Amino acid sequence: MARRFFGTDGVRGVVGEMLTADLVERLGRAATEWSGADRVFVGRDTRASGPELEEALVTGIRGAAATAVLGGVLPTPAVALSPLDLGVVISASHNPPEYNGVKFFDAHGRKLSDEAEEEIEALLDAPSSNGGGVERDDAAARDYLTYVLDHFGADLSGLRVAVDCANGAYSEIAPAAFAQLGAEVLPLFVSPDGTNINDGCGATDTAALEREVLAGGFDLGIAFDGDGDRMLAVDERGEPVDGDQILAILALDLGVDLVAVTEMTNHGFHSLMKERGIRVVTTDVGDRYVLEALWREGGLLGGEQSGHVVYLRDHVSGDGLAAALLLCAALRGRSVSEAAAVMPRWAQSKQNVRVASKELTQPIREAVARLNGEFGGSGRVVVRPSGTEPLIRVLVEAQNASAAGEACASLAALVQEELG
């Protein structure tokens, strides 16, 4: 049975359109029935729609005769670490404020498989039963911070860091973490008002952070997304450092023998890993596919260019704060630019094309095949639908920057013509 509502990362959409309180209630009831959980842990990010959708979710959980344990505003990895049989996050991650969503974690803190999501959708119309209750866990954020500091923290005395929290779930937690480890911290975008999450800030827009790092002479900048499962960096020159570079730094520092990445990962990363004898497993785009590969292969480290970094020693999912602390520890007296320079980078040109339909047409497929043939071993083309927004993402990677830019512009124009 094809999934109707679940995408690459839970159920997500514009609130009041695809994502309604009624749907969230039904998802809460169905997922609780599916899991057999007696207690369900719930967190949310800072979106204005969060409290209303939380209330709907609680109604659904209680309708399955279970108790909803409310942790309040929490980063997604805090919910993944919950010891309960089912964890739920009300968040649209990196998406704009008008979006929201629901993400589920099983008893092991793992995101659900396609098959599990299909089984939940089959229960959406199951009748509600009486019972259930509500509890509040006011210590959840504090307990999460303590856990991350204990397992991933290092002495950061003397480090000057600007921390962009995207007006999201890390707004209080992340600056406190860096300060407790001895760093000098400049908190940025830590005043969520329900409408400003990911708005001109955070991992989806590091321009403001780049300016602050350069103007203030900071050693680095850290940018989280709204729910805290992504992290990107800015070096001491104000230059962005993407997930591929962060993953390269960590792979060498942590001494792993395997890394899982997605098809968007830069060719330069693959070259470096081959040179250092580290096996690379490549998956479809989406951190849950990276996680599945790590579980299957027995690996610990993986991630995406977009900033998902997964390290499964003492964790179960991607965690932006844990990744940021690991990066800081991995510098070992070097500047960020020096540490990142270990990875050669092929030129990449990317465009996101807003479309009416996300079904790739034959002319688009033929153009992709033709360009990949023309590039041969000197470049590649990836055109894929976004899993969370009405966008087609175009990536062209090549040894020659101008060739990458020209091919990307041509493909984006074709996509707009065919699907716009």
Catalytic residues: 93
Amino acid making up residue 122? A
**Which tokens hold the place of 215?**
């103007």
Residue with tokens 């207690």: 39
Q: 53 in the Ramachandran plot: left (φ > 0), alpha (ψ -120 to 50) or beta? A: alpha
CA–CA dist 213, 239 (Å, integer): 9
Task: Give CA–CA dist 408/264, Å, rounded.
Answer: 14
**Are 202 and 225 spatial neighbours (Cβ–Cβ below 8 Å)?**
yes
Q: Round the CA-based radius of gyration of the chain to a whole number and report it.
A: 21
**Tokens describing residue 207:** 């321009």
d(CA 420, CA 406): 20
Buried b (16+ CB within 10 A) or exposed e, 298-330: ebbbbbbbbbbbbbbeebbbbbbbbbbbbbbbb
Closest CA to 114 of 265, 277, 4, 226: 4
User: Are 231 and 222 contacting, i.e. CB atoms less than 8 angstroms apart?
Assistant: yes
**Strand ranges (E), 74-117:** 86-90, 99-105
Pairing of strands 301-303, 347-354: unpaired
Q: Bridge partners of 231?
A: 224
8 Å CB contact between 375 and 398: yes
Q: Distance between CA atoms of 145 and 177, rounded to whole angstroms?
A: 7
Residue 129 CA to residue 144 CA, distance in Å, equals 33
